[in-house]
Structure 1
Amino acid sequence: MEENKHIVRRGIYILPNLFTTASLFTGFMAIIWASNGKFEWSAMGILFSALMDGLDGKVARLTGTSSEFGVQYDSLADLVAFGVAPGFMVYAWMIDAFGRTGAAMAFLFATCGALRLARFNVAAASGASKKFFIGLPIPAAGCTLAALVFFVPYLPTMLQGLVPGFCLLLTGLLGVLMVSRVRYYSFKEYGFLRTHRYRSMVTAILLFSMIMAEPRLFGFLLFFIYIIVGLVYTFILLPKKTPLPFTQ
Protein backbone atom coordinates (compact mmCIF):
# COMPACT_ATOMS: atom_id res chain seq x y z
CA MET A 1 0.00 0.00 0.00
CA GLU A 2 2.77 2.39 0.93
CA GLU A 3 4.58 1.49 -2.28
CA ASN A 4 1.47 2.34 -4.32
CA LYS A 5 1.21 5.70 -2.58
CA HIS A 6 4.86 6.37 -3.39
CA ILE A 7 4.27 5.56 -7.07
CA VAL A 8 1.24 7.85 -7.21
CA ARG A 9 3.15 10.63 -5.48
CA ARG A 10 6.05 10.27 -7.90
CA GLY A 11 3.62 10.41 -10.82
CA ILE A 12 2.12 13.63 -9.47
CA TYR A 13 5.62 15.09 -9.06
CA ILE A 14 6.41 14.34 -12.70
CA LEU A 15 3.13 15.84 -13.98
CA PRO A 16 4.13 19.55 -14.13
CA ASN A 17 7.44 18.59 -15.75
CA LEU A 18 5.47 16.82 -18.49
CA PHE A 19 3.84 20.14 -19.36
CA THR A 20 7.28 21.76 -19.40
CA THR A 21 8.54 18.99 -21.67
CA ALA A 22 5.59 19.55 -24.00
CA SER A 23 6.51 23.25 -24.14
CA LEU A 24 10.12 22.36 -24.91
CA PHE A 25 9.06 19.88 -27.58
CA THR A 26 6.80 22.29 -29.47
CA GLY A 27 9.46 24.99 -29.19
CA PHE A 28 11.98 22.58 -30.70
CA MET A 29 9.53 21.63 -33.44
CA ALA A 30 8.98 25.34 -34.14
CA ILE A 31 12.66 25.53 -35.09
CA ILE A 32 12.32 22.48 -37.36
CA TRP A 33 9.21 23.86 -39.03
CA ALA A 34 10.82 27.27 -39.57
CA SER A 35 13.87 25.62 -41.15
CA ASN A 36 11.49 23.90 -43.59
CA GLY A 37 9.69 27.14 -44.43
CA LYS A 38 6.52 26.22 -42.50
CA PHE A 39 6.32 29.53 -40.67
CA GLU A 40 2.68 29.33 -39.59
CA TRP A 41 3.33 25.90 -38.11
CA SER A 42 6.37 27.35 -36.37
CA ALA A 43 4.33 30.23 -34.97
CA MET A 44 1.64 27.82 -33.77
CA GLY A 45 4.32 25.76 -32.04
CA ILE A 46 5.53 28.81 -30.13
CA LEU A 47 2.00 29.80 -29.13
CA PHE A 48 1.24 26.23 -27.99
CA SER A 49 4.44 26.33 -25.93
CA ALA A 50 3.06 29.42 -24.21
CA LEU A 51 -0.10 27.51 -23.31
CA MET A 52 1.93 24.64 -21.84
CA ASP A 53 4.19 27.11 -20.03
CA GLY A 54 1.17 28.72 -18.42
CA LEU A 55 -0.11 25.37 -17.22
CA ASP A 56 3.02 23.78 -15.76
CA GLY A 57 3.36 26.27 -12.91
CA LYS A 58 -0.34 26.12 -12.08
CA VAL A 59 -0.28 22.32 -12.05
CA ALA A 60 2.78 22.36 -9.77
CA ARG A 61 1.05 24.70 -7.31
CA LEU A 62 -2.24 22.78 -7.36
CA THR A 63 -0.50 19.46 -6.73
CA GLY A 64 2.01 20.88 -4.25
CA THR A 65 4.94 19.67 -6.35
CA SER A 66 6.80 22.94 -6.95
CA SER A 67 10.55 22.42 -6.84
CA GLU A 68 13.81 24.16 -7.66
CA PHE A 69 14.41 21.54 -10.33
CA GLY A 70 11.08 22.45 -11.95
CA VAL A 71 11.97 26.15 -11.88
CA GLN A 72 15.30 25.61 -13.62
CA TYR A 73 13.88 23.14 -16.13
CA ASP A 74 11.09 25.59 -16.97
CA SER A 75 13.64 28.35 -17.61
CA LEU A 76 15.64 26.17 -19.99
CA ALA A 77 12.47 25.20 -21.85
CA ASP A 78 11.44 28.87 -22.04
CA LEU A 79 14.79 29.82 -23.54
CA VAL A 80 14.27 27.34 -26.37
CA ALA A 81 10.55 27.97 -26.92
CA PHE A 82 10.48 31.76 -26.56
CA GLY A 83 14.08 32.80 -27.20
CA VAL A 84 15.82 30.55 -29.72
CA ALA A 85 12.72 29.40 -31.65
CA PRO A 86 11.20 32.88 -32.29
CA GLY A 87 14.64 34.33 -33.06
CA PHE A 88 15.34 31.64 -35.65
CA MET A 89 11.79 31.79 -37.02
CA VAL A 90 11.80 35.55 -37.62
CA TYR A 91 15.26 35.33 -39.17
CA ALA A 92 14.29 32.56 -41.60
CA TRP A 93 10.92 34.18 -42.29
CA MET A 94 11.80 37.82 -42.88
CA ILE A 95 15.07 39.30 -41.68
CA ASP A 96 17.54 36.98 -43.40
CA ALA A 97 17.35 39.51 -46.24
CA PHE A 98 19.44 41.83 -44.04
CA GLY A 99 22.32 39.35 -43.92
CA ARG A 100 24.60 39.68 -40.90
CA THR A 101 22.44 42.45 -39.45
CA GLY A 102 19.42 40.16 -39.46
CA ALA A 103 21.40 37.32 -37.88
CA ALA A 104 22.78 39.68 -35.24
CA MET A 105 19.27 40.94 -34.38
CA ALA A 106 17.94 37.39 -34.06
CA PHE A 107 20.88 36.48 -31.81
CA LEU A 108 20.31 39.65 -29.76
CA PHE A 109 16.71 38.59 -29.20
CA ALA A 110 17.73 35.11 -27.98
CA THR A 111 20.53 36.48 -25.79
CA CYS A 112 18.30 39.09 -24.16
CA GLY A 113 15.78 36.32 -23.51
CA ALA A 114 18.43 34.31 -21.67
CA LEU A 115 19.41 37.35 -19.60
CA ARG A 116 15.76 38.06 -18.84
CA LEU A 117 15.22 34.53 -17.54
CA ALA A 118 18.35 34.66 -15.40
CA ARG A 119 17.27 37.96 -13.85
CA PHE A 120 13.76 36.66 -13.24
CA ASN A 121 15.07 33.59 -11.39
CA VAL A 122 17.30 35.73 -9.19
CA ALA A 123 14.43 38.13 -8.42
CA ALA A 124 12.04 35.27 -7.64
CA ALA A 125 14.56 33.70 -5.26
CA SER A 126 14.94 37.02 -3.42
CA GLY A 127 11.19 37.32 -2.87
CA ALA A 128 10.55 40.30 -5.18
CA SER A 129 6.99 41.54 -5.69
CA LYS A 130 4.94 39.44 -8.11
CA LYS A 131 2.62 42.25 -9.16
CA PHE A 132 4.88 43.47 -11.96
CA PHE A 133 7.48 41.94 -14.22
CA ILE A 134 10.63 44.02 -14.56
CA GLY A 135 11.25 43.86 -18.27
CA LEU A 136 9.06 42.26 -20.92
CA PRO A 137 8.53 38.55 -20.09
CA ILE A 138 10.20 36.26 -22.62
CA PRO A 139 6.95 34.35 -23.40
CA ALA A 140 5.27 37.65 -24.35
CA ALA A 141 8.23 38.62 -26.54
CA GLY A 142 8.30 35.25 -28.30
CA CYS A 143 4.53 35.14 -28.78
CA THR A 144 4.55 38.66 -30.24
CA LEU A 145 6.84 37.50 -33.05
CA ALA A 146 4.76 34.34 -33.50
CA ALA A 147 1.50 36.30 -33.68
CA LEU A 148 3.08 38.65 -36.22
CA VAL A 149 3.28 35.76 -38.71
CA PHE A 150 -0.52 35.54 -38.72
CA PHE A 151 -1.01 39.32 -38.68
CA VAL A 152 1.09 40.25 -41.73
CA PRO A 153 -1.35 38.86 -44.37
CA TYR A 154 -3.95 41.37 -43.12
CA LEU A 155 -1.74 44.33 -44.06
CA PRO A 156 -2.51 46.24 -47.28
CA THR A 157 -0.38 45.37 -50.30
CA MET A 158 1.26 48.80 -50.20
CA LEU A 159 2.66 48.05 -46.72
CA GLN A 160 3.95 44.56 -47.42
CA GLY A 161 7.29 45.91 -48.60
CA LEU A 162 7.86 47.48 -45.17
CA VAL A 163 7.37 44.21 -43.29
CA PRO A 164 11.02 43.00 -43.31
CA GLY A 165 12.28 46.30 -41.90
CA PHE A 166 9.50 46.37 -39.31
CA CYS A 167 10.34 42.80 -38.26
CA LEU A 168 14.01 43.72 -37.90
CA LEU A 169 13.22 46.72 -35.70
CA LEU A 170 10.59 44.87 -33.67
CA THR A 171 12.95 41.96 -32.99
CA GLY A 172 15.57 44.36 -31.66
CA LEU A 173 13.01 46.33 -29.65
CA LEU A 174 11.61 43.20 -28.01
CA GLY A 175 15.13 42.14 -27.06
CA VAL A 176 15.86 45.50 -25.45
CA LEU A 177 12.51 45.53 -23.61
CA MET A 178 13.24 42.11 -22.10
CA VAL A 179 16.36 43.43 -20.35
CA SER A 180 14.90 46.87 -19.63
CA ARG A 181 13.43 48.18 -16.37
CA VAL A 182 9.99 48.67 -17.93
CA ARG A 183 7.22 47.35 -15.70
CA TYR A 184 4.66 44.93 -17.07
CA TYR A 185 1.63 43.76 -15.11
CA SER A 186 2.04 40.07 -14.25
CA PHE A 187 -1.62 39.15 -13.55
CA LYS A 188 -0.31 37.09 -10.61
CA GLU A 189 -1.86 39.33 -7.96
CA TYR A 190 -5.56 39.88 -8.27
CA GLY A 191 -6.19 42.91 -6.05
CA PHE A 192 -7.22 45.08 -9.00
CA LEU A 193 -9.48 42.35 -10.39
CA ARG A 194 -11.22 41.93 -7.03
CA THR A 195 -11.80 45.66 -6.53
CA HIS A 196 -12.86 46.27 -10.15
CA ARG A 197 -14.81 43.11 -10.85
CA TYR A 198 -17.32 44.62 -13.29
CA ARG A 199 -14.70 46.37 -15.43
CA SER A 200 -12.49 43.30 -15.32
CA MET A 201 -15.35 41.07 -16.43
CA VAL A 202 -16.36 43.39 -19.29
CA THR A 203 -12.74 43.67 -20.44
CA ALA A 204 -12.30 39.90 -20.34
CA ILE A 205 -15.48 39.37 -22.38
CA LEU A 206 -14.40 41.94 -24.98
CA LEU A 207 -10.93 40.42 -25.31
CA PHE A 208 -12.35 36.91 -25.58
CA SER A 209 -14.84 38.04 -28.23
CA MET A 210 -12.13 39.76 -30.27
CA ILE A 211 -9.86 36.73 -30.18
CA MET A 212 -12.67 34.34 -31.07
CA ALA A 213 -13.81 36.58 -33.96
CA GLU A 214 -10.39 37.08 -35.59
CA PRO A 215 -7.60 35.32 -33.66
CA ARG A 216 -5.04 35.88 -36.44
CA LEU A 217 -5.71 39.61 -36.49
CA PHE A 218 -6.24 40.45 -32.83
CA GLY A 219 -3.59 38.13 -31.39
CA PHE A 220 -0.72 40.35 -32.47
CA LEU A 221 -2.62 43.54 -31.64
CA LEU A 222 -3.23 42.38 -28.05
CA PHE A 223 0.44 41.54 -27.53
CA PHE A 224 1.40 44.89 -29.05
CA ILE A 225 -1.02 46.73 -26.76
CA TYR A 226 0.46 44.90 -23.74
CA ILE A 227 3.91 46.15 -24.78
CA ILE A 228 2.70 49.74 -25.19
CA VAL A 229 0.79 49.72 -21.88
CA GLY A 230 3.98 48.77 -20.04
CA LEU A 231 5.85 51.67 -21.63
CA VAL A 232 3.04 54.13 -20.86
CA TYR A 233 2.81 52.97 -17.24
CA THR A 234 6.58 53.12 -16.66
CA PHE A 235 7.39 56.42 -18.34
CA ILE A 236 4.15 58.41 -17.96
CA LEU A 237 1.95 57.10 -15.15
CA LEU A 238 4.57 55.86 -12.68
CA PRO A 239 6.55 59.15 -12.51
CA LYS A 240 3.31 60.91 -11.55
CA LYS A 241 2.87 58.53 -8.61
CA THR A 242 6.41 58.83 -7.29
CA PRO A 243 9.36 60.90 -8.51
CA LEU A 244 11.82 58.38 -7.07
CA PRO A 245 13.42 55.81 -9.38
CA PHE A 246 12.07 52.32 -8.75
CA THR A 247 14.27 49.38 -7.93
CA GLN A 248 13.71 45.69 -8.25
Structure 2
Amino acid sequence: MPNELREAIRGVWNRFDLADRRVGNAADRTNVLERLTGADYISLGALFVGWASALLFARGEPNWALLAMFGAFLLDKADGWYARRTGTSSPFGRQVDSFIDIFAYLVPSVLLYHFVLAPNVYASLVVGFLVLAFGGLRLVRHNSEGFGSDGAASFYHGTTVVHTNLVVVANYFLAVLVGSWNGWLAGLTIGVVCPLMVSDYKAYKTDTTHVLAGIAAVAAIGLAIGLEFGYL
Protein backbone atom coordinates (compact mmCIF):
# COMPACT_ATOMS: atom_id res chain seq x y z
CA MET A 1 0.00 0.00 0.00
CA PRO A 2 1.52 3.37 -0.98
CA ASN A 3 2.55 5.59 1.92
CA GLU A 4 0.28 8.39 0.71
CA LEU A 5 -2.79 6.13 0.81
CA ARG A 6 -1.77 4.74 4.20
CA GLU A 7 -1.46 8.26 5.63
CA ALA A 8 -4.83 9.23 4.15
CA ILE A 9 -6.52 6.22 5.78
CA ARG A 10 -4.80 6.97 9.10
CA GLY A 11 -6.01 10.56 8.91
CA VAL A 12 -9.60 9.44 8.32
CA TRP A 13 -9.36 6.93 11.20
CA ASN A 14 -8.06 9.61 13.55
CA ARG A 15 -11.06 11.75 12.76
CA PHE A 16 -13.28 8.99 14.13
CA ASP A 17 -11.21 8.43 17.26
CA LEU A 18 -13.87 8.89 19.96
CA ALA A 19 -11.30 9.19 22.73
CA ASP A 20 -9.81 12.21 21.00
CA ARG A 21 -13.25 13.76 20.56
CA ARG A 22 -14.25 13.42 24.22
CA VAL A 23 -14.01 16.52 26.40
CA GLY A 24 -11.06 15.87 28.66
CA ASN A 25 -11.38 18.48 31.38
CA ALA A 26 -13.95 17.34 33.95
CA ALA A 27 -14.80 20.98 34.70
CA ASP A 28 -15.94 21.43 31.09
CA ARG A 29 -18.14 18.32 31.01
CA THR A 30 -21.88 18.43 31.71
CA ASN A 31 -23.73 15.15 32.07
CA VAL A 32 -27.23 16.33 31.24
CA LEU A 33 -28.93 13.11 32.34
CA GLU A 34 -27.27 13.24 35.75
CA ARG A 35 -28.55 16.78 36.28
CA LEU A 36 -32.16 15.88 35.62
CA THR A 37 -34.36 15.87 38.70
CA GLY A 38 -37.77 14.32 39.27
CA ALA A 39 -39.36 17.61 38.18
CA ASP A 40 -37.40 17.52 34.92
CA TYR A 41 -38.63 14.00 34.19
CA ILE A 42 -42.19 15.23 34.71
CA SER A 43 -41.38 18.01 32.22
CA LEU A 44 -40.19 15.39 29.74
CA GLY A 45 -43.50 13.60 30.26
CA ALA A 46 -45.19 16.86 29.25
CA LEU A 47 -43.01 16.91 26.13
CA PHE A 48 -44.13 13.38 25.24
CA VAL A 49 -47.82 14.24 25.63
CA GLY A 50 -47.33 17.56 23.81
CA TRP A 51 -45.80 15.70 20.88
CA ALA A 52 -48.76 13.30 20.90
CA SER A 53 -51.00 16.37 20.69
CA ALA A 54 -49.08 17.62 17.65
CA LEU A 55 -49.48 14.28 15.89
CA LEU A 56 -53.22 14.25 16.60
CA PHE A 57 -53.62 17.73 15.11
CA ALA A 58 -51.76 16.58 12.01
CA ARG A 59 -54.06 13.53 11.77
CA GLY A 60 -57.17 15.73 11.84
CA GLU A 61 -58.26 14.88 15.39
CA PRO A 62 -58.44 18.34 17.00
CA ASN A 63 -60.58 17.37 20.00
CA TRP A 64 -58.37 14.47 21.00
CA ALA A 65 -55.36 16.67 20.34
CA LEU A 66 -56.75 19.26 22.74
CA LEU A 67 -57.22 16.61 25.41
CA ALA A 68 -53.60 15.56 24.99
CA MET A 69 -52.48 19.18 25.06
CA PHE A 70 -54.24 19.77 28.36
CA GLY A 71 -52.55 16.63 29.66
CA ALA A 72 -49.25 18.35 28.87
CA PHE A 73 -50.58 21.45 30.63
CA LEU A 74 -51.29 19.38 33.76
CA LEU A 75 -47.81 17.85 33.73
CA ASP A 76 -46.26 21.27 33.19
CA LYS A 77 -47.95 22.54 36.34
CA ALA A 78 -47.02 19.37 38.21
CA ASP A 79 -43.30 19.76 37.53
CA GLY A 80 -43.20 23.20 39.15
CA TRP A 81 -45.17 21.97 42.14
CA TYR A 82 -42.86 18.99 42.54
CA ALA A 83 -39.72 21.14 42.24
CA ARG A 84 -40.96 23.52 44.94
CA ARG A 85 -42.08 20.68 47.21
CA THR A 86 -38.76 18.86 46.98
CA GLY A 87 -36.57 21.96 46.93
CA THR A 88 -35.02 21.02 43.58
CA SER A 89 -35.73 24.24 41.67
CA SER A 90 -32.69 25.39 39.71
CA PRO A 91 -31.73 27.58 36.72
CA PHE A 92 -31.11 24.37 34.74
CA GLY A 93 -34.61 23.14 35.56
CA ARG A 94 -36.12 26.44 34.45
CA GLN A 95 -34.30 26.09 31.13
CA VAL A 96 -35.74 22.58 30.71
CA ASP A 97 -39.22 23.86 31.57
CA SER A 98 -39.01 26.67 28.99
CA PHE A 99 -37.84 24.21 26.35
CA ILE A 100 -40.85 21.99 27.07
CA ASP A 101 -43.21 25.00 26.95
CA ILE A 102 -42.44 25.39 23.25
CA PHE A 103 -43.91 21.96 22.53
CA ALA A 104 -46.62 22.00 25.19
CA TYR A 105 -48.12 25.37 24.23
CA LEU A 106 -46.64 27.09 21.17
CA VAL A 107 -46.43 24.20 18.70
CA PRO A 108 -49.97 22.91 19.47
CA SER A 109 -51.27 26.46 19.09
CA VAL A 110 -49.85 26.95 15.60
CA LEU A 111 -50.91 23.45 14.53
CA LEU A 112 -54.46 24.04 15.76
CA TYR A 113 -54.64 27.24 13.75
CA HIS A 114 -52.99 25.71 10.68
CA PHE A 115 -54.99 22.50 10.44
CA VAL A 116 -58.38 23.73 11.70
CA LEU A 117 -58.77 27.49 11.55
CA ALA A 118 -56.54 28.99 8.84
CA PRO A 119 -58.44 30.15 5.73
CA ASN A 120 -55.29 29.65 3.63
CA VAL A 121 -51.62 28.82 3.98
CA TYR A 122 -50.55 32.48 3.95
CA ALA A 123 -52.66 33.29 6.98
CA SER A 124 -51.19 30.25 8.71
CA LEU A 125 -47.68 31.38 7.75
CA VAL A 126 -48.15 34.79 9.35
CA VAL A 127 -50.04 33.69 12.45
CA GLY A 128 -47.71 30.75 13.08
CA PHE A 129 -44.68 33.00 12.78
CA LEU A 130 -46.12 35.53 15.24
CA VAL A 131 -46.96 32.87 17.82
CA LEU A 132 -43.57 31.16 17.58
CA ALA A 133 -41.49 34.33 17.33
CA PHE A 134 -43.08 36.29 20.17
CA GLY A 135 -43.55 33.15 22.27
CA GLY A 136 -39.92 32.14 21.82
CA LEU A 137 -38.68 35.64 22.65
CA ARG A 138 -40.91 35.69 25.72
CA LEU A 139 -39.36 32.44 26.98
CA VAL A 140 -35.83 33.71 26.29
CA ARG A 141 -36.53 36.90 28.23
CA HIS A 142 -38.02 35.00 31.15
CA ASN A 143 -34.95 32.76 31.37
CA SER A 144 -32.75 35.85 31.32
CA GLU A 145 -34.71 38.02 33.77
CA GLY A 146 -36.76 35.61 35.87
CA PHE A 147 -39.83 36.76 37.77
CA GLY A 148 -40.48 40.35 38.70
CA SER A 149 -41.64 41.24 42.18
CA ASP A 150 -44.02 43.76 43.72
CA GLY A 151 -43.41 43.25 47.39
CA ALA A 152 -44.80 39.83 48.25
CA ALA A 153 -46.31 39.19 44.79
CA SER A 154 -44.27 37.91 41.86
CA PHE A 155 -45.22 38.37 38.23
CA TYR A 156 -44.31 37.33 34.71
CA HIS A 157 -42.95 40.11 32.50
CA GLY A 158 -45.54 40.11 29.72
CA THR A 159 -48.35 37.63 29.13
CA THR A 160 -47.36 33.97 29.07
CA VAL A 161 -47.44 31.30 26.38
CA VAL A 162 -50.32 29.76 28.34
CA HIS A 163 -52.41 32.91 27.80
CA THR A 164 -51.71 32.85 24.06
CA ASN A 165 -52.51 29.15 23.87
CA LEU A 166 -55.87 29.71 25.59
CA VAL A 167 -56.68 32.48 23.08
CA VAL A 168 -56.08 30.08 20.19
CA VAL A 169 -58.19 27.40 21.86
CA ALA A 170 -60.99 29.91 22.52
CA ASN A 171 -60.94 30.83 18.83
CA TYR A 172 -61.31 27.17 17.91
CA PHE A 173 -64.45 26.81 20.00
CA LEU A 174 -65.83 30.10 18.67
CA ALA A 175 -65.28 28.94 15.09
CA VAL A 176 -67.03 25.63 15.77
CA LEU A 177 -69.91 26.92 17.88
CA VAL A 178 -70.51 30.45 16.52
CA GLY A 179 -71.43 30.52 12.87
CA SER A 180 -70.17 34.04 12.17
CA TRP A 181 -66.69 33.37 13.54
CA ASN A 182 -64.04 32.34 11.02
CA GLY A 183 -60.33 31.83 10.48
CA TRP A 184 -59.69 35.45 9.51
CA LEU A 185 -61.15 36.78 12.75
CA ALA A 186 -59.31 34.10 14.69
CA GLY A 187 -56.02 35.02 13.00
CA LEU A 188 -56.55 38.71 13.73
CA THR A 189 -57.31 38.01 17.39
CA ILE A 190 -54.29 35.77 17.81
CA GLY A 191 -52.00 38.18 16.00
CA VAL A 192 -53.06 41.06 18.24
CA VAL A 193 -52.33 39.22 21.49
CA CYS A 194 -48.93 37.83 20.43
CA PRO A 195 -46.90 41.04 21.06
CA LEU A 196 -48.30 41.15 24.60
CA MET A 197 -45.93 38.30 25.42
CA VAL A 198 -42.97 40.68 25.14
CA SER A 199 -44.77 43.72 26.55
CA ASP A 200 -44.36 45.35 29.97
CA TYR A 201 -47.65 43.91 31.21
CA LYS A 202 -47.42 42.33 34.67
CA ALA A 203 -49.02 38.88 34.69
CA TYR A 204 -49.17 38.12 38.40
CA LYS A 205 -48.35 34.59 39.57
CA THR A 206 -50.93 33.91 42.28
CA ASP A 207 -53.08 31.04 43.49
CA THR A 208 -56.09 32.79 41.95
CA THR A 209 -54.54 32.88 38.48
CA HIS A 210 -53.67 29.19 38.77
CA VAL A 211 -57.25 28.37 39.76
CA LEU A 212 -58.64 30.42 36.86
CA ALA A 213 -56.29 28.69 34.43
CA GLY A 214 -57.42 25.34 35.81
CA ILE A 215 -61.10 26.27 35.42
CA ALA A 216 -60.48 27.40 31.82
CA ALA A 217 -58.69 24.11 31.08
CA VAL A 218 -61.51 22.02 32.58
CA ALA A 219 -64.11 23.99 30.60
CA ALA A 220 -62.13 23.46 27.39
CA ILE A 221 -61.80 19.75 28.11
CA GLY A 222 -65.57 19.53 28.60
CA LEU A 223 -66.21 21.35 25.32
CA ALA A 224 -63.73 19.15 23.44
CA ILE A 225 -65.37 15.98 24.78
CA GLY A 226 -68.82 17.34 23.99
CA LEU A 227 -67.81 18.11 20.41
CA GLU A 228 -66.05 14.79 19.90
CA PHE A 229 -69.03 12.72 21.02
CA GLY A 230 -71.66 14.90 19.37
CA TYR A 231 -73.20 16.47 22.47
CA LEU A 232 -72.63 19.98 21.10
TM-score by length of 1: 0.65
Structure 2 residue 218 is matched with structure 1 residue 216? no
Residue 214 of structure 1, CA deviation: 9.1
Q: Which secondary structure does the structure 2 equivalent of 1:131 belong to?
A: strand
Residue 63 of structure 1, CA deviation: 0.8
Structure 2 residue 142 is matched with structure 1 residue 120? yes
Letter in 2 for 1:182: Y
Q: Which moved more, 1:127-136 or 1:103-112?
A: 127-136
Aligned pair in 2 of structure 1 residues 143, 25: CA closer, same or farther (>3 Å)?
A: farther
Unaligned runs of 5+ in 2: 1-32, 225-232
Contact 2:130/2:194, CA 8 A, preserved across alignment: yes
Letter in 2 for 1:106: G
Residue 166 of structure 1, CA deviation: 1.8
Unaligned runs of 5+ in 1: 1-9, 194-199, 218-248
Name the CA distance, whole Å, in 2 between partners of 1:179 and 1:69: 22
2:164 is matched with 141
Contact 1:23/1:52, CA 8 A, preserved across alignment: yes
Instruction: Give the 5 Å matches for 1:25-174.
Output: 25-95=48-118, 97-124=119-146, 128-129=148-149, 131-155=154-178, 157=179, 159=180, 162-174=181-193
Residue 151 of structure 1, CA deviation: 4.8
Contact 1:134/1:182, CA 8 A, preserved across alignment: yes
Contact 1:43/1:149, CA 8 A, preserved across alignment: no
Name the CA distance, whole Å, in 2 between partners of 1:44 and 1:143: 13
Name the CA distance, whole Å, in 1 between partners of 2:168 and 2:44: 22
Percent identity over paired residues: 24
Structure 2 residue 205 is matched with structure 1 residue 186? yes
Name the CA distance, whole Å, in 2 between partners of 1:106 and 1:128: 28
Aligned pair in 2 of structure 1 residues 114, 75: CA closer, same or farther (>3 Å)?
A: same
> Which structure has more helix as a fraction of its residues?
1
Aligned pair in 2 of structure 1 residues 131, 147: CA closer, same or farther (>3 Å)?
A: same
Letter in 1 for 2:189: L
Aligned pair in 2 of structure 1 residues 214, 143: CA closer, same or farther (>3 Å)?
A: closer
Name the CA distance, whole Å, in 1 between partners of 2:107 and 2:220: 31
Residue 75 of structure 1, CA deviation: 0.6
Letter in 2 for 1:216: L
Name the CA distance, whole Å, in 2 between partners of 1:67 and 1:39: 35
Contact 2:148/2:155, CA 8 A, preserved across alignment: no
Q: How many residues align?
A: 187
Is the radius of gyration larger for structure 1 or structure 2?
Answer: 2
Contact 1:44/1:146, CA 8 A, preserved across alignment: no
2:194 is matched with 175
Name the CA distance, whole Å, in 2 between partners of 1:169 and 1:112: 15
- Spell out, residue by residue over 1:25-75, the C-alpha distance to the aligned partner (whole angstroms, 9 max, x if none): 121111111111111122222222221111101101111112222111111
Q: Which moved more, 1:28-37 or 1:129-138?
A: 129-138
**What's the Cα RMSD here?**
3.3
Q: Which secondary structure does the structure 1 equivalent of 2:89 belong to?
A: coil
Aligned pair in 2 of structure 1 residues 48, 131: CA closer, same or farther (>3 Å)?
A: same
Residue 182 of structure 1, CA deviation: 2.0
Name the CA distance, whole Å, in 1 between partners of 2:87 and 2:202: 29
